[in-house]
Structure 1
Amino acid sequence: MRANVFDYQLAAERFLPAFAYGYLEGGAEQSVTMRRNRRAFEETLFAPRVGVDVSVLDTTTRVADRPLAWPAIVGPTGLNGLFRHRAEESLARQAHAAGLPFALSTASTSLIESVREASNGDLWLQLYVQRDRRIAEDMMRRARACDFSTLLLTVDTAVSGQRDHYRRTGFTLPIRWTPRMIWDVASHPRWCGAVGLHGIPKLVNLARSAGLSGDLAEQAAAMSREMDMSLSWGDLAWVRRHWPGRIFVKGVQRVADAQLAVAHGADGIVLSNHGGRQLDGVPSPLEMLQETVAALPSHVDVIVDGGIRRGSDIVKAVALGARAVLLGRAPLYGLAAEGETGCADVLALLRQELHTCLRLLGCPRVAALDPTYLAAVPHLPTGVSGGIA
């Protein structure tokens, strides 16, 4: 048992070969955005109230008209099979055990159908749109057949960000077995036993919907070079024809774009810079949160991600108007360090920290959080967030 998410991060770094940890932890270019995501939470300060009865807490909320035990979703992350075998099944089971939804990535290493077999919880699908849209259509069809409730349409990945750490660690798909890579793997025997013996994980969801072979090079090419760069707001109507459930647009980074997403039929927004992995040098989602929420109708759910490592970070995001947060790297640290048990412990730690923070803040109900519980909030200079359309 470890004290916090940061301890699990260190344990994950020890367990994983450098190329796998670099994939998990690395940001784009100089990682300016990734550091800013974390700093925004650190610079947001509380204004606690005292003399409040906090003996009973209510952390429940609703997102996409679905109940959550506390305001978080285990978010979509790709290539999780690098960290543990059958990673997505573990994440889905533990999300459900914690009373949370689990969002499965298009770039998952487990099938939609396998994840549904592993969990009867609330499952969401994160969707990348390839140039051949029949792939996305088939993925939506398969997810509907497995009773996935909500779609996260990701719009910030027309191309992959410049990730310098790939060059430093030699990470490619498929992996090129250079002497450096062989030494990297051989020097992590625990990973070899738990993960490496099962073979390099493959993008099986993409392969099934695209009708691809089991060749990882072909799968990686489909993911990285065939994204639909023509995707635009009008295409939400096409998505709606294939997805009758709730649709969130993920990757919004301007207030005006949040309004356009809603105008074109989105049910909700995920303020996200892809964990700092795409365009370096953009604001943190937390900095944009208040202005975005104020610009949208009250029925529109706004979710935020990027840099959440503490239960108190969740409280800060909700106080600024988020309905919930997406947890990306944090559960993966636990998964890599200790398998499914580590994932469960990370979620338990975050929930306990959330409870402690609410009691010390003098706010027994998550639904009552608002900016009056904050003493200092990071703000962008006027106009940086794109203004209001």
Structure 2
Amino acid sequence: MVSLICTLQSHRDDVNCCAFSGSLLATCSADKSVCVYSTRDFSELPFSPLTGHGYGVHCCCFSACGQYLASCSTDATTVVWSMDTGEIEAVLEHPGRSPVRVCAFSPDSSYLVSGGSDGTIALWDFTSRTLRRTGAVTDTSIVACSFTPCAQLFITGSTYGDLRLWDLNMNHLHAEKNAHDLGVSCCQFAPQIMKGTDGCVQFQLASCGQDSLLKIWIVSLLSAAGIKMQLAHTLTGQSAPVLSCAYSADGQMLVSGSVDKTVTVYQANEGILLYTLNQHDRYVTACAFSPTAPLIATGSMDKSVNIWRVEDGSCAQGGFICNQSCYKVLFKLCNPSPNAFIYERIFYK
């Protein structure tokens, strides 16, 4: 059972994104602001709203420790905020001064990636707040990105409809063309690292798009044969373009928001529809699971953010990073071919 526990109405325009840390919820809007709430009682923090952007804010994300929040905007910047004070720590200007549509931290917070409306991709060294690498996809806008749980690869999605996998040297490793007809809206890797039947390392990836579909992919890293991306499930629980998707902390549940005003919750491994939630009055543009509690946040063009509680206990409580209780996978390029990898396990006590 999923129940609505509160509705937040701080924004004056469309809500574009929402993100949880262990103790905070951040939401951003076309009204140029970012609002930050305590997840204890969903009261707004004293320094909220954050108003450093000159135009609408498209995306926001927390560092793994929750100490920093990044937000990106049509003003061509990604701003890093301190969650201790609400002050600006850094302003990262996107190459070419293109509007920035999406940003994402690596799971270890070493890197921050941002994607622009002109197809450019910027990979930032977060420790030094400096630009590490740039890349580009021609004739499209980058609107989605997500790091693998090992923090060594990331994927981008574009309005052209393709999904592209990159390493930290901005080598282009794999392209899944026409992943979504008319364009990708969002993509996210599940937090767990998996092992294939042949011993290869695998990741589960969710993507959604303008074709009204939510798709679940299995990305396999084959030590000799490169990278394989296989479609596992195509989910049709919504009747209009799907604008956002997110995994629960244990990777067992998947939530999505749609132009049809609904929120759907799936059992991720089998792609089974569990719940359809009807509470927003307009398009559902954003969704996120808490990493530490059975909570879902959904944001909409109705200017509101709804907070939902998952009552059946399917959503894991207690946070984690990179599945450290099992293993972390490190990748090394073993020859000039961008698809050739070796990998090793490092076991944690």
- TM-score, shorter chain, exceeding 0.5: no
Higher helix share: 1
Larger radius of gyration: 1
User: TM-score, normalising length from structure 1?
Assistant: 0.28
User: TM-score, normalising length from structure 2?
Assistant: 0.31
Higher strand share: 2
Asked which structure has the greater RCO (Cα within 8 Å, sep 6+), the reply is 1
